[in-house]
Chain A
Amino acid sequence: MTAETAIRVRGLRKSYRDVHVLRGVDLDAPRGSVFALLGSNGAGKTTAVRILSTLLTADTGTATVHGFDVSAQAAEVREVISLTGQFAAVDEILSGRENLVLVARLRHLKNAGGIADELLARFALADAGRRRVSTYSGGMRRRLDIAMSLIGKPPVVFLDEPTTGLDPEGRMEVWRTVKELARGGTTVLLTTQYLEEAEHLADRIAILHEGRIIANGTLAELKQLMPAATVEYVEKQPGLEEIFLAIIGTAGGGREAARDGAAASDWKGRR
């Protein structure tokens, strides 16, 4: 275990009766990196994240987070992680601010109200802060959900399919947040079924398929698995997503998202 490894997994297995969800998973996520666990539905991504966040115990194998074993030192692991699950785990009946205050209190932090206000501002929820979450849009909920995960500045953040079910704008917002976290030195392990997302965000990508990691490395390393690139000339038309974002961007608010979207497409274009 080196000091640079934030998450280390060896030989992780988990079965439910005859269903072998994880069949020996190994992975290492360096500190401060964005690590994408890429896989289709049912590949075992959520199970892996649940084991790493101490919600589930593995049958065999070991997993350590910041040097703490997830089964033997679960309490220590919980001090250094936070989890944003597949569905926004927010309290619908409370207001956005009350949700944040709740988590800050549970993390035993002083000045819970101040922390809540700061996060509301940072996630563009200040105006909606005192409204009940049941009135929020899907994107707002997800933003609140991620804001709740950042309380107490945990060094390791798990994001389980953070953009599933979000509209393009909401997805850009999440992407921006992930990049910001990475810049601040937080280790982010995110699961996704979108290739584009992994490509856009991750320093390292592991492909989980039928309970095994079948490929693991940086994007450049993964590209080497493919035959050498050939040069083709393709006329570049704006995609519908760019058009959509450009149009709504003129109405204000979405401009930065549109820029980000264009950047994402440039990235694709460079391939």
Chain B
Amino acid sequence: MTIRAFGDTAVLTGRSLRHIVRSPDTIITTAVMPIAFLLLFVYVFGGAIDTGAGSYVNYLLPGILLITVASGIAYTAYRLFLDLKGGIVDRFQSMPIARSSVLWAHVLTSLVANAVSLIVVVGVALLMGFRTGAGVSSWLAVTGILTAFTLALTWIAVVAGLSAKSVDGASAFSYPLIFLPFISSAFVPTETMPGPVRWFAENQPVTSIVNTIRGLFAEQPVGDDIWTAVGWCVGILVVAYGCSAMIYRNRVS
């Protein structure tokens, strides 16, 4: 049964990867907004933002990467919603396949699509002067955290895709997620924010993740931030996965 589930997931993942290959605009549009933010903040606002020593593009990139993921996962909700509405999920579910493979295929596709978008954004940042001396283990750690973050957000997207009533609803949920990095340490140091805002910024998931990635890129010790970051990612992942599984099951009653 488990082997069959892997096989079915592989077949269905191949299907949705084809969708992406045939509409590469989804990857481009995912990367456009974060790149626009990157340009805007580095070349327009950046001069007025004091982040201490080091270049602003180095400071900014981790938050931009999270925005990239937050805008990329909207397509997962969108694709899942269209599959449900078009009846193809009904077709799959009436066939002798592992039912969970329908969702996992979308999740794995999201990982691949977001990885490509992230590589594009990092490429642009390199052109803009982003530099890091991070070694292999640091890059692996950054990749691991971004993967966990993408997985967690993708399962939120699955909840949105499963429960949406319209196409707009399926993608609108991602706006708050895209906005979250603005109230964090992603763009400016949290010390400059007034009391309650600062408290929120320092205790929401994005700050610990941003600080961790920034520390890894800058070859500085990341301290407890990395565990807070991992904790947030795993926590969100577990809750969103649980909700998805419940909603998915309840569709059949």
Contacts and interface: CB of A to CB of B under 8 A. Distances in A.
Given A94-B15, A108-B7, A85 B90 contact: yes
A93 B91 contact: no
Interface in A54-111: 54-57, 75, 78-79, 81-83, 85-94, 98, 102-103, 105-108
Contacts of A119: none
A148 B90 CA distance: 13
Contacts of B15: 91, 94, 102
Main secondary structure of the interface of A (DSSP, over half): loop
A106 B18 contact: no
Given A54-B252, A92-B86, A106-B8, 13 more contacts: A54-B94, A75-B96, A79-B96, A82-B94, A88-B87, A91-B15, A91-B88, A93-B18, A98-B18, A106-B12, A106-B97, A107-B95, A108-B4
Contact of A89 (B8, B12, B88, B97): B88
Interface in A168-204: none
A87 B86 contact: yes
B194 to A, nearest CB: 48
Q: Which of B18, B92, B96 has the most CB of A within 10 A?
A: B96
Interface string B6-30: 0110011001001100110000000
B96 A78 contact: yes
Interface in B1-55: 4, 7-8, 11-12, 15, 18-19, 22-23
B163 interface: no
Interface of A: 50, 53-57, 75, 78-79, 81-83, 85-94, 98, 102-103, 105-108, 148
B253 interface: yes
B233 to A, nearest CB: 31
Contact of A85 (B11, B87, B252): B87
Interface in B47-88: 86-88
12 contacts: A53-B94, A55-B252, A75-B96, A79-B96, A81-B94, A85-B90, A93-B19, A98-B18, A103-B91, A106-B11, A108-B4, A108-B96
- Nearest 10 pairs of A and B residues by beta carbon: A89-B87, A83-B94, A89-B91, A78-B96, A53-B94, A85-B87, A105-B11, A89-B88, A79-B96, A93-B19
B93 interface: yes
Contact of B92 (A92, A94, A106): A106
A90 B90 CA distance: 11
A57 B87 contact: no
Contacts of A98: 18
Contact of B95 (A85, A86, A92, A103): A103
Contacts of A55: 90, 93-94, 252
Contacts of A91: 15, 88
Interface string B241-253: 0000000000011
A97 to B, nearest CB: 12
Contact of B93 (A54, A79, A87, A105): A54
A202 B96 CA distance: 28
Given A94-B18, A106-B11, A56 B87 contact: no
A106 B96 CA distance: 8
Given A89-B88, A90-B88, A91-B88, A57 B252 contact: yes
A93 B23 contact: yes
Contacts of A57: 252-253
Nearest to A52: B94
A87 B22 CA distance: 24
A56 B11 contact: no
B87 to A, nearest CB: 4
A252 to B, nearest CB: 33
Given A93-B18, A93-B23, A106-B97, A83 B11 contact: no
Contacts of B96: 75, 78-79, 107-108
A114 B186 CA distance: 54
Contacts of A106: 8, 11-12, 92, 95, 97
Nearest to A149: B91
